[in-house]
Amino acid sequence: MSPTNPSRTTVITDQVAESITRVEELGYEIKVREVMTEKVKCLNPTMTMRETVEMFRQEMISGAPVVTEAGKLVGVVSMEDLIHCLCKSDLDATVEKYMTPDPISVHEYEPVVEALKTFVNSKVGRLVVLNLEGDLAGILTKGDITRGFLKALQRDYENEELRKYRARHLFEDINSDRTSLILRYTIKAGDFTHGGQASSNIKRALLRLGASPQLARRVGIAVYEAEINLIIHTNEGGIIRAEIEPHRISIRVFDNGPGIENVELAMQPGYSTATEEIRELGFGAGMGLTNIARCVDNMALESVPGSGTRLRMKFFLDEESVGEGLSRNKETS
């Protein structure tokens, strides 16, 4: 494992947490019992080492736990023990003589990461797994862990594919006369730190739903400009409501004031009422509404000074901007 792998004693900071890989996470999530080999071939302490060799050969294994008639675990025989015995040409000796007593064990409900630590510290190739009663539950090799991780990663991958598939087929799988997905976001006035979060989320949702990158970009830019407007120009912020349908995307942005004195003037490129402070942030150049107009298929801006502003934007999904999931619906609105 990498050096960033947190042990129980280290404090995990957010920074460390971010660098934890999925495989490392799995080490904590997966329990030993999920990856171990159950129903292992066991040796009896009174068997001969010759019988042991024969069993290893037949079963194609390189080690086995030693269990008494009463079912008590007393040791393991590994290749090393076998070589030891062969060197002395002592194959008729009993298993008891050459086995490693008091084998290193892990608990079946411990996370795999504990077993990995034990492997690193003990340099053995196989751990005995015990159940809650302290009896033999199985055997764990590094190969078991690798196989378990690969299976878990495969499962993760399939889940993500399924999630994408579901999102893409949302509109096909749900039947109604008119299906739409509505996303709502509350934007606070003056909150530059979170400015753009709503538009990022809408853009991401569209991509997940199968919209083309071009469409997602147009919607993202238009909503972003509107979101920034709510942050810069409103008293209390406002609401962004995005309605996604198979044939169009309708976005409404509304606030409760102060409203725009002269909508026509506000629409002119370069006209701005933004303060110097806002200009220093790179905004307030008077291009926001112009940019929105450029991105949308249809827009309407209504404002009543003193009461509020409503911006409606529409995007129609034509052949070129359609992805796999959001498909054209010939019906017109």
Binding site for other proteins (CB under 8 A): 18, 192-193, 195-197, 199-200, 203, 213, 217, 220-221, 224-225, 228, 269, 281-283, 285-288, 290-291, 294
In the complex, least distance from residue 111 CB atom to other proteins, rounded to whole angstroms = 27
Write out the two tokens for 231: 């942050």
In the complex, least distance from residue 319 CB atom to other proteins, rounded to whole angstroms = 20
Please, how many CA atoms are within 13 Å of residue 130, restricted to the half-sphere of its CB?
Answer: 16
Residue closer to other proteins, measured from CB, 116 or 293? 293
Residue closer to other proteins, measured from CB, 74 or 287? 287
Chain centroid to Cα 7, Å, comes to 22
* Sheet bearing 308-316, strands edge to edge: 181-187, 238-244, 248-255, 308-316, 298-304
In the complex, least distance from residue 189 CB atom to other proteins, rounded to whole angstroms = 16
SS3 53: helix
In the complex, least distance from residue 83 CB atom to other proteins, rounded to whole angstroms = 45
List residues bridging with 122 in a β-sheet: none
Chain centroid to Cα 218, Å, comes to 27
In the complex, least distance from residue 200 CB atom to other proteins, rounded to whole angstroms = 6
Residue closer to other proteins, measured from CB, 184 or 194? 194
In the complex, least distance from residue 283 CB atom to other proteins, rounded to whole angstroms = 6
Residue closer to other proteins, measured from CB, 18 or 319? 18
In the complex, least distance from residue 301 CB atom to other proteins, rounded to whole angstroms = 17
Residue closer to other proteins, measured from CB, 200 or 333? 200
Short-list 125, 135, 140, 110, CA closest to 36: 140
Alpha carbon dihedral 16, 21, 24, 28, in 10-degree steps, equals 80
Write out the two tokens for 70: 């009463």
SS3 262: coil
Distance CA 281, CA 308 (A): 25
The DSSP letter of residue 194 is G
Residue closer to other proteins, measured from CB, 228 or 326? 228
Residue closer to other proteins, measured from CB, 94 or 291? 291
